[in-house]
Structure 1
C-alpha cells in the first residue's frame, strides 16, 4: 500500500471492465463503448482513434499500429498494422542523391499509413459494434473540439517547428501553438472518419481521401501512388515470448522490436536483481549495460519480418548468457554503434479488459512529434515519418526497399503465467520501449511492486552514449553512475509513459496509469 502522506496515485479497481490510456476522454470513451455492449477490441479502437484528436502530436490516422489480444482459450493473437514504403522508393536512390539517412521531414520518410486498415479489419473480425459506432466519438470530438491537455501542450511547443505548409493551418491557432486549455478541432479528419464509418477502409485508401494524401506527398517530391495506398493491408502475426522467473513476456514479432525486451530480460536473469536496491546504483548500471547489449543486437538483426533471419539467435538463452558475461559490475562499457536510422520518439498506448476477460494491448503512433510535419491539404491528415526507421546501409536487414516495412520502436506487451494472459501493458517513449518493458517486468517480478508502483518508479535509460536519469533518483546515484563511467544527464522530458491492467486471480481488474502523461485508468 502506498504512503498516503506522499503524492501518488492509487490503483483503479473494478470488475466489469477497465481501460488505461494517456488521455481521460479516450479512457472514458472506451468505458462507454464497453457499457454499450462492445468488447475490449471495440473499446480499444474507439479510444485509440480519439487519441489522434486528443494527442495529435503523438498519433493519428496517418500512422501505424500494432495489437495483441487474448482469446477465450487463453491464447494471444497479434496484428501488424504498420505500413510499407512506396513501391518506387529504395535506398539506392537516396544514396545516389547523397543521403546517408532517410530525411526525417521529407515525403521519403512517409510510409503508407497502416492503422486504419487494421482498425477496420479488427472491428469486422473481432469487434461486435461495427466501425461506424467506434468512430462516432472521434468524429464528435474532432468537430466539437478537445481542450489541449497539459502534457500535450508541453509536447506541442517542443514539436511545432516540424509542421510544414498546410499542416500549420490544421495544427496551429492562427500560426500560434495552442496553450493548455485551448480548444483544438480537426473538422477535416471528422469528414474522413465519417466516410470510413459509412464505407469502410476503402474510403480511406481509395478515392478522394487517398487522392488528397497522394497529392500532398507528390507535391513534396514523394513517389507514392494510388496502388501503394489501395494495396495496404494489415498482417496476422504470431506473438513471440520469453520467460522471466516464472512470468512470460509476450511481444509482437518483427518488424517491431519486442525481441529486444525479451533479450534484455534474458540477460538480467543472470544477475541477482532482486537483491539490489530498486532505486540504487547497481541496478541502474546493470540494466544500462544489458540495454546496450540488447539494443546492439536489435541494430544488427531486426527489420521487416521477411528480412529478419536471426530472430531465434536473438531470443536464445545461450545468446543472453554470452552477452551477460560481457558486463562488468564496476565499469560502464561503450555505447553500441549508433543506428543510421531514426528510432525516436512519440506514440500513444491503450489497454482494455472487458467483462469476459478479453485483454487488448494496442499501440498507435506517427513516430516523431507531429510525424513528418506534412499534412494533406483538404483533410489535414498528418503523415507519420516511420520510413526514417529504415537504414540506407546496403544489404542490412532493415535497408529501405519499396514495399517493405521499417523497423518499428512501438511494441505492445502482454504478461502471462502458466499459459494464461493476466496483464496487457505498454511503455511509450520511442527507443526506450524495450528497456521500459524489461524494467516494468523486473519491478513486478523482482521487487513485488503492484502495477501502479512499478509504473511510478523512477527511470533511467542509456541512450546513444548518454545515461538519462530521471529526477526521481538521488544525486548520489547519479554521482556513482558517473564514477562507473556513464555520461549522466537529467532529461528535460520524463522518460516515456506507461499503462497497464492486471487481471487478478480474484477477478478484480487493477488499472494503472503513468503520471508522466495526462491520462488515467477507468473502470466500472
Structure 2
C-alpha cells in the first residue's frame, strides 16, 4: 500500500465562489432564508484517487529519517506489535496480568482470527521462533497440517487448472495447525490458565469490534471472488452468513460480531486442543466436508501433531539470522543474506540502484532453489544445510554482476528438494515471533456449519509433477510461504520480526536486515523505508506469477528515488509500480541499557496495526 497522503484543506472563504458556481444559490441572511449551511466535507474512502498522489508526502518529522512515520514504542517490561490495535491491547493486558509472552501470543492470535479474518484464523497453520531465556537459544515451532488421506493424486490432478491446483474449494484444504501450536506453546511456556487466554477474543466476538479499513476492503474483495461463476467452491452460504450477516458487507468502522466463533473458542477454552482435533469441533468439520463432497475428515484432524525444531542460521556481518526449515521458505531469507554477505553491499548507497540490483539478484538466485528444492522434509529429501552453507553462498554470489542482470538456474544439489505476523516480549526476556495464515486471501472460501472460521487453501502450493520434492501426496505437508523471523547478536536476542505477504516475506525480511545492519536504520524507519518486490522466476511454485519473462518484474514503491528507477531500467530491469504487495512488518528489538532491559516495538504504516510497550 502506498504511504498515506493528505491534501491541505481549502479555506472556506476561498472555496465559497467555487461552491456557488457548482450549486443552486441558496437564500442567505437578509434574503428571507435561514443561514447557509456549508456542504459536508467529502468522506475519505479506501483507494480514493484524490489522496493517492505521488507529489504529496507525509509531514516532516524534526528527528529521524525523512520517510519515518513514527517513533518506536519503548518499554521496560514487555511489548507487543500486531496488525490490529485491539489485538495489541489484548497482548499487553495478558502481560500485565502476569502472563508470559507465549500466553500473550495465544491471546493475540485468537483475537486476530476474529479481528483480521482476511489474514488468519484457526482454519490455518502457524509457525513460531522464540527466544527461550532459560535455555538461552532460539527455538522453532512448526504446526503445519497435512493433506487429507482420502484425497488422491489422481483426484487432485483432475481438479487442476493450468497444471496447478485451484486457489479455492475443498481440494485446497489441509488440516489446520494453529490450535495445536497454541497448545504446544502453552504446555511448555504458559503461565496463566489456558481458559483465560480466550477471554479477550470471546468478548470482542460477542460484544463486537469496529472493522479496520483494510480488513473491510479485503472482506469485500474475497466474498466477491467466492461468488464468481466457476470459483470452484462447493458452497458459499456459510461464508456469507459469517462475514456479511444479513447480506451486509462490513465497512470501515462498522461493528462486526461473530457469535459462532465465540462458541467455538469457548469449546477450545474448556476442552483444550482435543476439542478441535478429536471432539465436538472435529465432528462438525467431518460432517461438513462429507456434506459438500470434500475430503478432510476427523481422522485427519486426530492425526495432526506439530513439531518443535531447531532453526537454521547464517551469520550476516556480526548478526546471526535464524530461519525455519521444515516445509517453509524460511531458508530463502538465509540464502539471500548468505549471498549478500559475499558482496560489498554497504558501499552501495542506501536506496541506490546498485543496492536494489544486488538484493534483487540475490533473490532471483535463492528463489530458483526455493522452487526446485523446498518441500516437506519428512517426506522429501531437502538439502537445506547445503543451501544455507557459506560455500554455496559464495558460489552463487560469483554469478552476480553489478551492471547487468545475470541468467539464473537452480543449483545442483549434492546427491547425499495472505498472512498475519505479530511479536510479543515479556519481563523475563522471552520474545515470540509468530506467523499464522489461511494463505491466499481469506482462505478456501469454506466455513463449516456454525463454527465461524474459514479453512485455509494452503494445498494450492503443492506441485502436481512427478518426482518434484513438493509434489502432491495424501498425508503430506505442502510447501509453506509463512515464516517468522529472528536475529541474535553475540549470543543474545536482538530482533523478533517478520514481514507478511506470500513470496514477499523473505524479500522483506532481507530488506529489514540490510536496512539495519548495512545502513544503520532503527527498527521503525527500517520498516518505513521504501521497498522493492521482485516477481517471477524461471522455476515456479503454485503461487508464483507466470509469463513475466526471463527476468521477471521488479516493483518499486513510490518513495524509491527517480534516479534509482531510471538506472535500474538502464541495467535491464522490467519495472512496475506499487500494487500493495510489499508486505506488512512488525518488530521488537531487545536492548540492554546498563542493567536495564529495554524493548523497542515497531509496526508497519502499510497496515492497520499498532505497537505498544510498557
Range moving further from structure 2, 38-47 or 373-382: 373-382
Counterpart Cα distance in 1 of 2:569 and 2:409: 18
User: Who is 1:474 aligned against?
Assistant: 561
1:237 equivalent to 2:336? Answer no
Q: 2:197 pairs with 134, 143, 150, which one? A: 134
User: Who is 2:153 aligned against?
Assistant: 91
Q: 1:90 to 1:336 in 2, by over 3 A?
A: farther
3-state SS of paired residue (2:175): coil
User: Who is 2:187 aligned against?
Assistant: 124
The answer to whether the 8 Å contact 1:302/1:308 transfers is no
Counterpart Cα distance in 2 of 1:82 and 1:433: 17
User: Who is 1:309 aligned against?
Assistant: 382
Q: How much has 1:152 moved relative to structure 2?
A: 1.6
Counterpart Cα distance in 1 of 2:322 and 2:135: 16
The RMSD of aligned alpha carbons is: 1.8
The answer to whether the 8 Å contact 1:9/1:452 transfers is yes
Counterpart Cα distance in 1 of 2:67 and 2:307: 46
Range moving further from structure 2, 33-42 or 411-420: 411-420
Q: 1:149 to 1:311 in 2, by over 3 A?
A: same
1:320 equivalent to 2:393? Answer yes
User: Who is 1:429 aligned against?
Assistant: 501
User: Who is 1:167 aligned against?
Assistant: 239
The answer to whether the 8 Å contact 1:284/1:460 transfers is yes
The answer to whether the 8 Å contact 2:328/2:480 transfers is yes
**What are the within-5 Å matches in structure 2 for residues 317-356 of structure 1?**
317-333=390-406, 346-356=418-428
Q: How much has 1:97 moved relative to structure 2?
A: 5.4
Q: 2:462 pairs with 385, 390, 398, which one? A: 390
User: Who is 2:71 aligned against?
Assistant: 10
Alpha-carbon deviations, 1:463-490, whole Å to 9, x = none? 1112111111123322322222222111
User: Who is 2:176 aligned against?
Assistant: 113
Q: 1:334 to 1:5 in 2, by over 3 A?
A: closer
3-state SS of paired residue (2:496): strand
1:518 equivalent to 2:608? Answer yes
Alpha-carbon deviations, 1:19-58, whole Å to 9, x = none? 1111111111001000101011001111111011111010
Q: How much has 1:329 moved relative to structure 2?
A: 1.7
User: Who is 1:30 aligned against?
Assistant: 91
Q: 2:220 pairs with 149, 157, 162, which one? A: 157
Counterpart Cα distance in 2 of 1:477 and 1:177: 42
User: Who is 2:572 aligned against?
Assistant: 485
The answer to whether the 8 Å contact 1:124/1:130 transfers is no
TM-score, structure 2 normalization: 0.81
Alpha-carbon deviations, 1:201-246, whole Å to 9, x = none? 1111223322322333333432222110111111111111111001
3-state SS of paired residue (1:128): coil
The answer to whether the 8 Å contact 1:53/1:146 transfers is no
TM-score, structure 1 normalization: 0.95
Counterpart Cα distance in 2 of 1:494 and 1:304: 26
Alpha-carbon deviations, 1:126-161, whole Å to 9, x = none? 111122111111111111111111222232233232
Counterpart Cα distance in 1 of 2:184 and 2:273: 8
3-state SS of paired residue (1:422): strand
Bigger relative contact order (CA 8 A; separation at least 6): 1
Q: Mind listing any 5+ residue stretches in structure 1 that lack a counterpart?
A: 338-345
1:444 equivalent to 2:516? Answer yes
Range moving further from structure 2, 139-148 or 33-42: 139-148
Q: How much has 1:79 moved relative to structure 2?
A: 1.1
3-state SS of paired residue (2:611): strand
The answer to whether the 8 Å contact 1:38/1:127 transfers is yes
Counterpart Cα distance in 2 of 1:374 and 1:161: 14
